[in-house]
Structure 1
Amino acid sequence: MAIPSFVDRVTLHVYGGKGGNGCASVHREKFKPLGGPDGGNGGDGGSIILRVDSSLTTLVDYYRESHRRARNGVPGRGDHANGATGDDVVLAVPRGTVVSDADSGELLADLTRDGAELVVAQGGRGGLGNAALASAARKAPGFALLGEEGETRRITLELKLVADIGLVGYPSAGKSSLIAAISRARPKIADYPFTTLVPNLGVVVAGDVTYTVADVPGLIEGASEGRGLGLEFLRHIERCAAIVHVIDCATFEPGRDPLTDLDVIEAELEAHGGLADRPRMVALNKIDIPDAAELADLVTADLEARGLRVFRVSTKNGEGLRELTYAMAELAALRAAEPEPEPARPVLRPRPVGGVPDFTVVREGELWRVRGEKPERWVRQTDFSNAEAVGYLADRLNRVGIETKLLELGAEPGDGVAIGGDDAVVFDFAPQIDVGAEILGRRGEDNRFVEERPAAQRRRAKDEAYHQARAEEENSE
């Protein structure tokens, strides 16, 4: 199947890069076998970013290749060497691209400014190395944190052309001929309906004003309900500053006349919605034909009585085109004079101190389920093949109060505890145990730097024996 040259709606699969794993390494030198942890952090994964490029007019590149992936972060290494950050992937999109989540339908952004950017798939954070995890209580961690997976998303890109003037009308009304006559655009022109299958953009210069005109494929009655091509292209009129009705005064179809055609197209625009405030003008086309010129003279007064500016034009001999282009330039100049809308500023709503907890615990049958951003992220960062890493995770969960909450709700040792949603990790509940007035050593703690080495103990014993012998000699004298 041939790939179209104009695409205004695509579904794109985007994958942020995975963060690099942290490194667990211990510095070693001669006569210094335990020089301390020196594992570096993993690099963050790359992100997928949309950026507006005003030179583009189609989404065809993403029709051809609908899966885009960013690079992963590089793992950390020993000697405090941090991994490199994965490269971002910047995807250029045309002005007027509306971005939404394909699964939920949530609107993510409306990209109308040149250079505007949107991160649609955030890269995963890199894992910390054991050098960053070291503390006074855990001086030599024998583990590191794993890098997080990047964000995966399915988004919909929908293009709504950003033009100053939109030309609308029945098929074969002469819209393509009109845009070809007043600009350098060269759309396909033929004497049969639905010649134009994609919107065309033309740049028009009228005096000191330069503006864009969009030729929207022909509308028919019922277009807003899916008849013809109108439903696919009505969206391209939404951003136009003004609408010009191009009416065929030379049609021989029964039941058609300029006033009826205007009423039908206006009904479809009203059914589509959001266009009632746009200025309208009427171009009565094909007046180079004598019968069409007579019909245009008959209906001009009725159209002007509706408050519409009417122009009698012919794309064949150029009659009336200069007046029409200058009238459209006046409307385009009004848009140019409007102040540029300020970009929306993010609203920061910090959590109140002592407010909502970082997790929730609910009972689901025989299982206790824990949900929360922090505990779920900590689980993803944990290497479950390393006992110290699992102990460190248990300490983190206990520090935010999860074990206390489970005990308050009646959890008993050995109960199943799931942290996360569908891909949850399930543990057997084993709370920390108190022994007398002391708590057992922290899980994941390395006691090699807490206890004295055997050689130091022997040296200390010899020193004590020597001083004791000297003291006895002095006493005997």
Structure 2
Amino acid sequence: MASRFVDRAVIHLTAGDGGNGCASVHREKFKPLGGPDGGNGGNGGDVTLLVDANVHTLLDFHFRPHARAGNGKMGMGSNRNGAAGEGLEMKVPPGTVVFTEDGELVADLTNPGTRFVAAQGGRGGLGNAALASKARKAPGFALLGEPGESRNLVLELRSVADVGLLGFPSAGKSSLISVLSAAKPKIADYPFTTLVPNLGVITAGSSVFTMADVPGLIPGASEGRGLGLDFLRHIERCAVLVHVVDCATLEPGRDPLSDVDALEAELARYTPGLGGKLEERPRVVVLNKIDIPEAAELAEFVRPDLEARGLRVFEVSTASRKGLKELSFALAEVVEAYREAQPVLEPEKIVLHPLAIDDSGFTVERDPEEEGGFIVRGSRPERWIRQTNFANDEAVGYLADRLNRLGVEEALAKNGARPGSPVTIGDIQFEWQPSTPGVAVHLSGRGTDVRLERTDRVGASERKEARRIRRDGTGEDEDLVEEETAPSVDAELDDVWEDEEQAERDR
């Protein structure tokens, strides 16, 4: 089966998820509460595109468009961190351009060895050992790992060739490459055009340059007719464009001047995404097949008109190899001049962009779909939301402390938020209950937060005490007993502090 050339592919990438942190307490003989020792979760693997000179097509991505990196492992007790997820490396040919689905340029990969992280792996969550502090000595929670980035990207291959051959079907472009280089394209008197670009390496004296033909160019190609629109991208990087004109064609209504005019019109209408305007590139006209007497006469007739346009004209024959040496040295001269005119490529520099002094890192805006609601946007608040285990009250309280320190509560108040206003951060919506400024937060048991325990509901312990009193036959009313036995919030906080002080003495 013949190999296929694929120069455009849509890929679906998913980076690895970060592992969850571990909430663990060190325990050993005579030391039942030895402090938190939960390890951090491992980072998820990245999906990376690597430019490899041995790869020449995007065929692999055409048949396997989905790719996923490995997930990070969960942290464990005894301060054992989870292993990082295995990254995925995908090889692409030089000249690959990466776009989003909306057509936005993401990366231009030309030099072999270049690496581009197409999908970033999620960061692993911190374990409770890393979250311990003076105010929270034994956290009963850990942070969740972040999900890996998922992206749909479009890959386009734009051949990195110095010379681009343009011409109508059967003009002799493939034959010209075969006699000037070691390339062996399929050559025959086909009634249709070549279906894949051919690339050859040419040596002229001390100069070495590459040449590629662009098949499928016919009138209307820039508007999507035929295959021209698919292959016009391959000439965007060329230093010089060569019109290969068939002087021996027998098709009615065609001649060398009209062929050149038709191709120039298509180039003028085609707007490249890279490399500048094509009409500014140097032009060379090759009058081919002059081994035929009628073609040689026609070439002599049209040559003055082409030179009057400022074009360099060469008469060649791929069959007899006449004029090929002069053509190769002339192309080498133009290529060398183009290379010298290009700016010197410097190594890529790392650019740091510090945040502005007044940049808080988040924004607060009104929710258009929720009356009286607000939306908080920002990388840090949204990342904290993804890291929070909302089934753990202490983790929710820790999230509230982080948002308060960032200034989210103050910003909500300035924008008119009231207690109970719906606030959306990321995928989570909750009712905003501002913290009381200047009041210290009393810590409670592991996995709990007293700010989330303040409720008027009668708890199970109070109901149990009421049943015990009834069994003792005191005769008191149940509602009165429950009301008398329900402790106040201040009493709960006092009990919490007493329990913590006792735990500290026991340790």
TM-score, normalised via structure 1 length: 0.88
Q: Find the counterpart in structure 2 of residue 56 from structure 1.
A: 55
Q: Which moved more, 1:159-168 or 1:331-340?
A: 331-340
Q: Does 1:101 align with 2:100?
A: yes
Q: Does 1:427 align with 2:452?
A: no
Counting aligned pairs with the same residue, the percent is: 58
Q: Find the counterpart in structure 1 of residue 259 from structure 2.
A: 261
Structure 1 residue 303: deviation in Å? 1.8
Structure 1 residue 173: deviation in Å? 0.5
String of CA shifts for 1:82-131, please: whole Å, max 9, x gaps.
Answer: 111112212111111111111x3221111122222211111111000000
Q: Find the counterpart in structure 2 of residue 451 from structure 1.
A: 501
Q: Tell me, what secondary structure is at the counterpart of 1:295? A: helix
Instruction: Output the aligned Cα RMSD.
Output: 2.3
String of CA shifts for 1:455-475, please: whole Å, max 9, x gaps.
Answer: 859xxxxxxxxxxxxxxxxxx
String of CA shifts for 1:283-313, please: whole Å, max 9, x gaps.
Answer: 1111111111111111122222222222111
Q: Does 1:417 align with 2:432?
A: no
Q: Find the counterpart in structure 2 of residue 282 from structure 1.
A: 285
Structure 1 residue 402: deviation in Å? 2.4
Structure 1 residue 330: deviation in Å? 1.7
Match of 2:354 among 323, 346, 350: 350
Q: Does 1:225 align with 2:229?
A: no
Q: Find the counterpart in structure 1 of residue 180 from structure 2.
A: 182
Alignment of 1:375-390 (within 5 A): 375-390=381-396
String of CA shifts for 1:421-469, please: whole Å, max 9, x gaps.
Answer: xxx21223233357xx853414757969841249859xxxxxxxxxxxx
String of CA shifts for 1:314-334, please: whole Å, max 9, x gaps.
Answer: 111211112111212222333
Q: Find the counterpart in structure 2 of residue 119 from structure 1.
A: 117
String of CA shifts for 1:351-382, please: whole Å, max 9, x gaps.
Answer: 22244453414243143322222111111101
In structure 2, runs of 5+ residues without a counterpart are 272-276, 450-495
Mapped partners of 1:110, 1:149: distance in 2: 27
Q: Does 1:372 align with 2:378?
A: yes
In structure 1, runs of 5+ residues without a counterpart are 458-477
Residues matched between the structures, number: 450
Q: Which moved more, 1:104-113 or 1:116-125?
A: 104-113
The residue type equivalent to 2:402 in the other structure is R
Mapped partners of 1:388, 1:58: distance in 2: 53
Q: Tell me, what secondary structure is at the counterpart of 1:451? A: helix
Q: Tell me, what secondary structure is at the counterpart of 1:276? A: helix
The residue type equivalent to 1:99 in the other structure is V
Q: 1:253 to 1:135 in 2, by over 3 A?
A: same
Structure 1 residue 257: deviation in Å? 1.0
Q: Tell me, what secondary structure is at the counterpart of 2:278? A: coil
Mapped partners of 1:77, 1:124: distance in 2: 18
Match of 2:205 among 189, 204, 207: 207
Mapped partners of 2:76, 2:497: distance in 1: 24
1:45–1:86 Cα contact (<8 Å) kept: yes
Structure 1 residue 248: deviation in Å? 0.3
Q: Does 1:392 align with 2:390?
A: no
Q: Which moved more, 1:230-239 or 1:330-339?
A: 330-339
Q: 1:330 to 1:454 in 2, by over 3 A?
A: closer
The residue type equivalent to 1:39 in the other structure is G
1:359–1:375 Cα contact (<8 Å) kept: no
Q: Tell me, what secondary structure is at the counterpart of 2:279? A: coil
The residue type equivalent to 1:81 in the other structure is R
Q: Tell me, what secondary structure is at the counterpart of 1:95? A: coil
Q: Does 1:331 align with 2:334?
A: yes
Q: Find the counterpart in structure 1 of residue 140 from structure 2.
A: 142
Q: 1:448 to 1:330 in 2, by over 3 A?
A: farther
2:361–2:379 Cα contact (<8 Å) kept: no
Q: 1:341 to 1:448 in 2, by over 3 A?
A: farther
Q: Tell me, what secondary structure is at the counterpart of 1:204? A: strand
Q: Which moved more, 1:441-450 or 1:369-378?
A: 441-450
String of CA shifts for 1:266-286, please: whole Å, max 9, x gaps.
Answer: 111111141122111111111
Mapped partners of 2:310, 2:83: distance in 1: 65
Q: Tell me, what secondary structure is at the counterpart of 2:502? A: coil
Q: 1:189 to 1:195 in 2, by over 3 A?
A: farther
String of CA shifts for 1:51-93, please: whole Å, max 9, x gaps.
Answer: 2112222111111110111111111111111111112212111
Mapped partners of 1:132, 1:454: distance in 2: 20
The residue type equivalent to 2:292 in the other structure is I
Q: Which moved more, 1:187-196 or 1:251-260?
A: 187-196
Q: 1:66 to 1:301 in 2, by over 3 A?
A: same
2:20–2:73 Cα contact (<8 Å) kept: yes
Structure 1 residue 174: deviation in Å? 0.7
2:364–2:411 Cα contact (<8 Å) kept: no
Q: Which moved more, 1:376-385 or 1:400-409?
A: 400-409
Q: Find the counterpart in structure 2 of residue 460 from structure 1.
A: none
Structure 1 residue 203: deviation in Å? 1.1
The residue type equivalent to 2:440 in the other structure is I
Q: Find the counterpart in structure 2 of residue 467 from structure 1.
A: none
2:364–2:374 Cα contact (<8 Å) kept: no
Q: Find the counterpart in structure 2 of residue 46 from structure 1.
A: 45
1:189–1:195 Cα contact (<8 Å) kept: no
The residue type equivalent to 2:203 in the other structure is V
TM-score, normalised via structure 2 length: 0.83
Structure 1 residue 347: deviation in Å? 4.3
1:4–1:60 Cα contact (<8 Å) kept: no
